[in-house]
Amino acid sequence: MTKLPTDKSSSKTAAPDGARARSGASDRPVRPQGSSNSGNQGNGHPPKKPRAPRLGNVGPLRDKKKTKTKRSGEKSGQNKIRPPAAIVPQQSVAGRALTLVVAIMAFLACLTVGGVTLVSDAAHDWQNDLVREVTIQIKPIEGVDMVREIDKAIALAQEFQGVGEVRALSDDETKALLQPWLGSGLDLETLPVPRLVVVELTNPQVVDFTALRDAITRDIKGGSFDDHSVWTERLASMAGAVVYGGIAILILMLTAMMLSVVFATRAAMAGNREVVEVLHLVGAENSFIAREFERHFLLLGLKGGIAGGGAAGVAFLLFNLLTRPETGYAGADQVAALAGGAYIGLTGFLGAGGIVVLVAALTALTSRIAVHNHLTRMD
């Protein structure tokens, strides 16, 4: 029996399936379960990477993440981009103190204007009353009929042009005039009291006072003429002195306020010196920097002026209310007797309003000039 030659390779090929499986398991790399790349293995392609498992509800998580990122970006943007700040701080202790000073100065200035207008109006009324009325005084002379001389004086005065009503004061009116000095219960027959004849003038400009005086002195025994020119001149001088004094006081108050504004402006520039110097170095014009300070102090001046002017207006109203004779307050009658019905009219209130505008304008102008001078020294 002839033996067939055996082939080693064929013997290896004829190995059992279990041994082949064990040898293949040891030779090939281990692949993860669930892979479907067995077909590509035989073609010589490298195995694909396994994909991560998908989650069923990923959309809301991504939206929340985007929202958080957006909000954080907005917050960071708000922190980085700030609104432009004013060169001069709007609210500060120095600013409030300056507003109070301006309010006090404006109040005092308005009171000065109100007082000046009150005295000026009263003096004007006094002058009008004195100019439109003259008096004829007849002294008692022994042996002369007083009643006849009074009638002659009335008839003589009525002959002149521009003369209106002419009348003699009655005994009761004469006693009322003398009562503050001689008391009540006077007997005019026992006292050498002069009698007065009041001459009212309809047109003082056309009356010839010189001729009237000469006629009374010549034709009326013991008669004299008084046109109140001395009192009119004195009233005019007094009113002028009060007006000039009020203007001087007003100028002093405004000067003190302007000095306060100058010091406040310098303090504000010293507190913001770095900002002003940086703006000046980077090429900012002096007018731009001065405008910022001018706007700031203009607002301060308006606030203080309105506060002071409003307080003065309330004081004027209270004065007008308390000085009315019908109110019954103590001293109202005395004020009415002195000033002839003291009343601060529209002129006083308009003057107070003008003071408010003037205070605001001077405050802004003074700060502008002070800033310009400081920047000029920096150049």
Say how many C-beta atoms besides its own lie within 10 A of residue 354's C-beta.
14
pLDDT higher than 60, residue 22: no
Coil/strand/helix, residue 309: helix
Q: What angle do CA 302, 304, 319 make, to 5 degrees?
A: 115
At 132, the amino acid letter reads R
Q: Where are the beta strands (DSSP E) in the chain?
A: 133-138, 163-168, 195-201, 223-226
Coil/strand/helix, residue 322: helix
pLDDT of residue 27: 45
231, 154, 152, 236: which is closest to 200 by C-alpha?
A: 154
DSSP assignment of 29-85, as one string?
A: PP--TT---HHHHHTTPPPPPPPPPPPS--HHHHHHHHHHHHHHHHHHHHHH--PPP
pLDDT of residue 353: 93
pLDDT tens, position by position, 228-271? 888 888 888 888 898 899 999 999 999 998 888 888 888 877 77
Question: Residue 173 and residue 179: Cα distance in Å, rounded?
Answer: 10
Q: What does the mean pLDDT of the chain come to?
A: 75
* Residue 379 pLDDT grade (very low, low, confident, very high; cuts 50, 70, 90): low
pLDDT higher than 50, residue 298: yes
pLDDT higher than 70, residue 303: yes
Helices 93-131 + 229-271 axis angle, to 10: 170
CB 300 within 8 A of CB 350: no
pLDDT of residue 354: 93
Q: How much is the pTM?
A: 0.61
* Residue 82 pLDDT grade (very low, low, confident, very high; cuts 50, 70, 90): low
pLDDT tens, position by position, 202-226? 888 888 888 988 999 899 888 888 8
pLDDT of residue 358: 92
pLDDT of residue 47: 53
* Residue 84 pLDDT grade (very low, low, confident, very high; cuts 50, 70, 90): low
pLDDT higher than 70, residue 109: yes
pLDDT higher than 70, residue 330: no
pLDDT higher than 60, residue 69: no
pLDDT of residue 181: 77
Q: Is pLDDT larger for residue 33 or for residue 180?
A: 180
Q: What angle do CA 338, 341, 345 make, to 5 degrees?
A: 125
pLDDT higher than 80, residue 197: yes
Question: Residue 103 and residue 333: Cα distance in Å, rounded?
Answer: 33
Polymer length in residues for the chain? 379
pLDDT tens, position by position, 118-177? 888 878 777 777 778 889 998 888 888 888 998 999 999 988 988 888 998 888 888 888
Element at 308 (helix H, strand E): helix 286-322
Starting from the edge strand earliest in sequence, which strands make up the sheet with 223-226, in order?
163-168, 195-201, 133-138, 223-226
* Residue 65 pLDDT grade (very low, low, confident, very high; cuts 50, 70, 90): very low
pLDDT higher than 70, residue 53: no
Q: Is pLDDT larger for residue 245 or for residue 290?
A: 245
pLDDT of residue 125: 78
* Residue 58 pLDDT grade (very low, low, confident, very high; cuts 50, 70, 90): very low
